[in-house]
Amino acid sequence: MSSGLTMNGCLGRDLTLELVRVTEAAALAAGRWMGRGQKDAGDEAAVHAMRAMLRTVDINGVVVIGEGEKDEAPMLFNGEAVGTGQGPAVDIAVDPVEGTSLLAHGRPDSIAVIGVAPRGTMWSPGPGFYMNKLVVGREAREAISPLSLTAPVADTLAAIAAAKHKAVTDLTVFVLDKPRHAELISALRTAGARVLTRTDGDVAGALMAATPGSGVDVLMGIGGTPEGVIAACAVRALGGAMLGQLAPQKPGEREALLAAGLDLDRVLTERDLVCSDDVLFAATGITDGLLMQGVRYADSGSTTHSIVMRGKSRTRRVIQAEHGPNELKTVRLCHQI
């Protein structure tokens, strides 16, 4: 039985492939609900499939970022123990369907994601649901600082463009299409940047911004705090940079954060959100997107496209997997467990 660790105590390469199997299972289960307008059903199918597959992985895992209170989920909740109990002690961050509305309406970039890091290294957002974020790739990591979150948008874009040896007019910025971002989107366009919007799914947006050659240069705006921790796993593995600051949006959220002793003025980096470079990240496309194709189904089986990363080696692998009909049957049964 593999320990999931290398000889020097790092999370091993074999574990990355196990994590891909976890996100593949979630994507295969969720993809059946693409375009059916039932986001809760798609999410439920993915949760059951991901949880069932996690049971087979040799880790002593605790869910730090899960479906949790925000989604009122009965499983993969914050604090749940996952894995066989054998192998390395790790923190787990999961989102079985990142972009449930995207899935329900058949829109691009719904994905299944998981991040893993040594026990005690993932930041817990507590009662924080929302965070203002800025994500860039490796080329532009030195172009941003904590002041970038409050600086004029045009100044931040100019610094990023200079670092990437581009004109601002050649930058593409990912922003969630929410009413709260109307002024941000207007400022981005006034500065000359192109704007890519999605109704949800800012883990995918952060992944695009941190991945060289994706066509997206920056992520900006307020998104989920749990999603910020998941995204930080990918950003660390890719060598990019991320800034995040709690930005309460829900009634009572600000008061709950202050009562929990959290500093609303603090600007967190990817190293604060995940304080280890011994991080693993996997994602599988559910619907077609910029980085991954969605699930393809046929009588003979199915095809999935995934990305898996290991922070220690800065390795990024793109995996296309062909699943036989027996594996599809197994995934269909997962939601009954």
CATH code, 81: 3.30.540.10
For residue 109, say whether it is annotated as part of any ligand binding site: no
224 appears as a binding residue in the annotation? yes
169 class by beta-carbon count within 10 Å (0-12 exposed, 13-18 middle, 19+ buried): exposed
Residue 178, annotated as binding a ligand = yes
- The reply to whether 202 sits in an annotated binding site is yes
Q: Do 94 and 41 belong to one domain?
A: yes
- Among the candidates 227, 248, 273, a domain finishes at 273
Same domain, 285 and 216: no
Does 45 share its domain with 69?
yes
Q: Is position 201 annotated in a ligand binding site?
A: yes
pTM metric for this prediction = 0.92
Are residues 140 and 27 located together in one domain of the fold? no
pLDDT in tens, the chain (337 residues): 445 665 456 787 789 999 999 999 999 999 999 999 999 999 999 999 999 999 999 999 999 999 755 445 568 888 999 999 999 999 999 999 999 999 999 999 999 999 999 999 999 998 999 999 999 999 999 999 999 999 999 999 999 999 999 999 999 999 999 999 999 999 999 999 999 999 999 999 999 999 999 999 999 999 999 999 999 999 999 999 999 999 999 999 999 999 999 999 999 999 999 999 999 999 999 999 999 999 999 988 999 999 999 999 899 999 999 998 876 554 544 443 3
Predicted pLDDT of residue 333: 44
253 is in an annotated binding site: no
179 in a known ligand binding site: yes
| Residues 91 and 37 both lie in one domain | yes
Residue 7 is predicted with a pLDDT of 46
The parent domain of residue 111 ranges over: 13-121+279-335
Identify whether residues 256 and 161 lie together within a single domain: yes
Run of H or E including 284: strand 280-285
Token reading at 285: 């496309």
Q: Is 200 annotated among the ligand-binding residues?
A: yes
pLDDT at position 72: 52
The answer to whether 170 is annotated as binding is no
- pLDDT confidence of residue 5: 62
Q: Give the CATH number for residue 228.
A: 3.40.190.90
Number of domains in the chain: 2
Is residue 6 annotated as involved in ligand binding?
no
Task: Identify the pLDDT of residue 337.
Answer: 34
Q: Does the annotation place 227 within a ligand binding site?
A: yes
pLDDT at 140: 98
| Residues linked to residue 11 through DSSP beta bridges, in sequence order | 5
> Is 133 annotated in some ligand binding site?
no
Torsion sign (Cα): 35, 39, 45, 51: positive
Distance separating alpha carbons of residues 254 and 71, to the nearest angstrom: 19
Do residue 176 and residue 154 come from a single domain?
A: yes
pLDDT of residue 269: 98
Annotated binding residue at 180? Answer: yes
